[in-house]
Every structure is written in C-alpha cells, then in structure tokens.
C-alpha cells in the first residue's frame, strides 16, 4: 500500500515539470517571434528617431520623437542591424520627392541627420540672397506670420529671434521672422530666415546622379548641402545610398523639463499639441 501510494504521489511532479518545460518553451518561442516581428518592423516599415537640434524649426523641434517610414526610399545597409552590406546599395530603391523631410547618415561621421529635400539628381541649385533658385527659377517665397517658439530647457532663443513674454500662461517665447516657401509641384512649408548670413549665397551647381541637395528649414542655423561634407558639420550632396527613411509622424515631444523621479512632470513637460502631427 505504501509503495502504491509513493508511486501515485511521485507522478504529479513529473507531469508538472513537463508542463513547466512546455510553458518555458512556448514563452521562448513567443520571444523569438516577437523579436523577429520587431526586426522586420524596424527594417522595412518604421523606425524611431529623435530630434537633437533646431535646424528644422519650426516644423521640428529639439525634443521631438518621430517615426520614419523605411519603404519609400528602399532598404539600404543603414536599415539593417549592424549596417550589413547589401548588393547594389539599396533594395527596391526609390527617389525622394522635393519637399520630403529625409533622414540620412552623414557621409563622414555616419550620424543621423534630418533635412528637407530641395534638389533632385540633375537639378541646378543655387542660393541668391538667401532665396533658393531651382533650375534657373527662384522658388516662390512670401512673408508668413511670425513663428512663436516657447522657450524651455530643450529650446533656446537663437541669434535671429527675440524673446518676449508668452501671451498665454507663464514663461517666454522666441519670435522668429518666417516665410512660406513653395517648391515646384506645390509642396509648401515654413522657413525661418534671420537676415544676411554666410550661406545666403551658393553658386549654382548641378546635383550629381544618385545624390540630393538638402537644406534645413531653419536656414540660418543649418549645416546642410550648402557646406562641404565635414564630420559634425555640412553634408554636401547626399548620396541616396545614405538614406534611412522619410519622416512620417511625431509620436512624442517634450520640452526637456521633466524630472524622471517625478512622474507628474512627465505629463507637464509633454508638448501635447505636437504629438500625432504628420510630417
């Protein structure tokens, strides 16, 4: 009787161990599938990026977090883990449209940069008096209402702006002179121009095959294709093989005032009016 009882009592742990083993195996397989899904999502669909500067004001601000669409320009080595090389440079390559906000790798230091596409391969591009001349024709630019940017730990008042009290609530804003620029094809956007600057003159050049001419919307605070490619500075003509994706939507934005030990400040620091904005 004792033997039978011991045998019966010994069987449930074995069954329990088997179920536990199956449970851990299922969980591990779930993690593998989840990892594969995330990898596919980041490689072929969307990938997150943050804005670390004010070169794209007023459209993008320091502290914006956005998703970039990967598929419009094709898949390059920069879309893959560890920058694995691809035959031919890009799979299913696509050329950006004028006016796209493109994310790309700096040709020298390989850091992520974000600028607006102005000139496509074969275009003749010049800058005269701060105004873009595309294929011999000035890109239409008209005065726009001043841009008011709230000052915060993430956003200073640059040399071309004037700080003043905010009309609503506490704090200050920086007032910038703005223009509305319209590219061929009808793509329009707001640019900031503070006045005469060294990059207001750029002699006409033809955009080489397979490259792009890009500029920041904050024209007097952007190291872009008007400057030769140097680490941490200008980018020159940007090879399309360096493209990472097209900026698509702002998914989060913070003014930098949050204290990580104070969860309430996470919400007060959020720029709620920017979250969800399509680009």
The token pair that represents 223 in the structure block: 């190291």
Whether residue 277 lies inside any domain: the answer is no
Residues 128 and 9 in one domain: no
Whether residue 128 lies inside any domain: the answer is yes
Residues 40 and 75 in one domain: no
- Active-site residue, from 47, 55, 225, 253: 55
- Do 178 and 188 touch, CB atoms closer than 8 A? no
Residues 92 and 157 in one domain: yes
Tokens 């005032």, residue located: 257
Whether residue 180 lies inside any domain: the answer is yes
Residues 103 and 2 in one domain: no
Whether residue 274 lies inside any domain: the answer is no
From the centroid of its chain, how far is CA 80?
17
For the whole prediction, is pTM greater than 0.85? no
pLDDT value of position 86: 61
pLDDT value of position 26: 75
Residues 92 and 16 in one domain: no
Residues 101 and 86 in one domain: yes
pLDDT value of position 107: 94
Between β-strands 238-239 and 162-165, what pairing exists: parallel, antiparallel or unpaired?
Answer: unpaired
From the centroid of its chain, how far is CA 54?
12
List % helix, strand, coil for the chain (3-state, nearest 5): 25, 35, 40
Residues 32 and 70 in one domain: no
Whether residue 275 lies inside any domain: the answer is no
Residue 256 sits in a domain whose CATH number is 2.10.109.10
- Please classify residue 73 by burial: count the beta carbons closer than 10 Å to its beta carbon, then call 0-12 exposed, 13-18 middle and 19+ buried: buried
Residues 87 and 210 in one domain: yes
Q: Does the annotation count 70 as an active-site position?
A: no
Residues 35 and 67 in one domain: no
pLDDT value of position 270: 94
Listing DSSP states for 153-178 in one string gives TTB---TT-EEEE-SSSSSEEEEEEE
Q: Is 210 helix (H, G, I), strand (E, B) or coil?
A: coil
Tokens 């039978």, residue located: 4
Instruction: Report d(CA 214, CA 121) in Å as an integer.
Output: 12
Residues 37 and 95 in one domain: no
Find the domain containing 7 and state its range: 1-44
Residues 216 and 125 in one domain: yes
Instruction: Report d(CA 229, CA 196) in Å as an integer.
Output: 23
Integer angstrom CA distances of residue 234 from 12, 189, 230: 70, 22, 6
- Active-site residue, from 76, 115, 152, 253: 115
Residues with Cβ < 8 Å from 145, sequence gap 6 or more? Answer: 178
Whether residue 279 lies inside any domain: the answer is no
pLDDT value of position 159: 82
Whether residue 9 lies inside any domain: the answer is yes
Residues 137 and 32 in one domain: no
Listing DSSP states for 221-267 in one string gives G--STTS---TTS---SEEGGGEEEEEEEEEEEB-S---TT-HHHHH
Whether residue 278 lies inside any domain: the answer is no
* Overall number of domains in the chain: 2
pLDDT tens, the chain, 279 aa long: 444 444 444 555 555 655 555 667 776 766 766 666 656 556 666 788 899 889 999 999 999 999 998 888 887 766 665 565 665 566 777 899 999 999 999 999 999 999 999 999 999 999 999 999 999 999 999 999 999 999 999 998 988 889 999 887 778 999 999 999 999 999 999 999 988 888 999 999 999 999 999 999 999 999 999 999 999 899 999 999 899 899 999 999 999 999 888 888 889 999 999 999 999
pLDDT value of position 2: 45
């Amino acid at each position: 009787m004792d033997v039978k009882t011991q045998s019966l009592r010994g069987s449930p742990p074995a069954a329990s161990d088997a179920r536990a083993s199956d449970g851990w195996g299922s969980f591990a397989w779930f993690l593998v599938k989840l990892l594969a899904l995330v990898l596919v999502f980041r490689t072929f669909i969307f990938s997150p990026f943050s804005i670390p500067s004010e070169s794209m004001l007023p459209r993008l601000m320091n502290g914006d977090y956005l998703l970039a669409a990967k598929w419009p320009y094709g898949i390059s080595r920069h879309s893959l883990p560890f920058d694995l090389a691809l035959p031919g440079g890009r799979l299913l390559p696509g050329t950006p449209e004028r006016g796209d906000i493109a994310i790309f790798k700096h040709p020298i230091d390989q850091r992520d940069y974000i600028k607006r596409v102005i000139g496509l391969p074969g275009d003749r591009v010049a800058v005269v008096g701060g105004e873009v001349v595309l294929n011999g024709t000035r890109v239409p630019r008209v005065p726009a209402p001043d841009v008011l940017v709230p000052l915060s730990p993430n956003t200073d008042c640059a040399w071309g702006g004037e700080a003043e009290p905010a009309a609503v609530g506490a704090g200050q804003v920086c007032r910038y002179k703005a223009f509305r620029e319209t590219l061929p094809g009808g793509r329009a956007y707001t640019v900031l121009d503070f006045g005469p600057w060294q990059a207001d003159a750029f002699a006409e050049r033809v955009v080489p095959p397979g490259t792009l001419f890009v500029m920041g919307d904050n024209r007097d605070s952007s190291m872009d294709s008007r400057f030769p490619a140097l680490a941490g500075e200008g980018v020159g003509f940007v090879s399309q093989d360096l493209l990472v994706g097209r900026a698509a939507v702002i998914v989060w934005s913070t003014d930098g005032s949050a204290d990580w030990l104070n969860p309430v400040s996470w919400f007060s620091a959020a720029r709620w009016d920017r979250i969800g904005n399509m680009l």
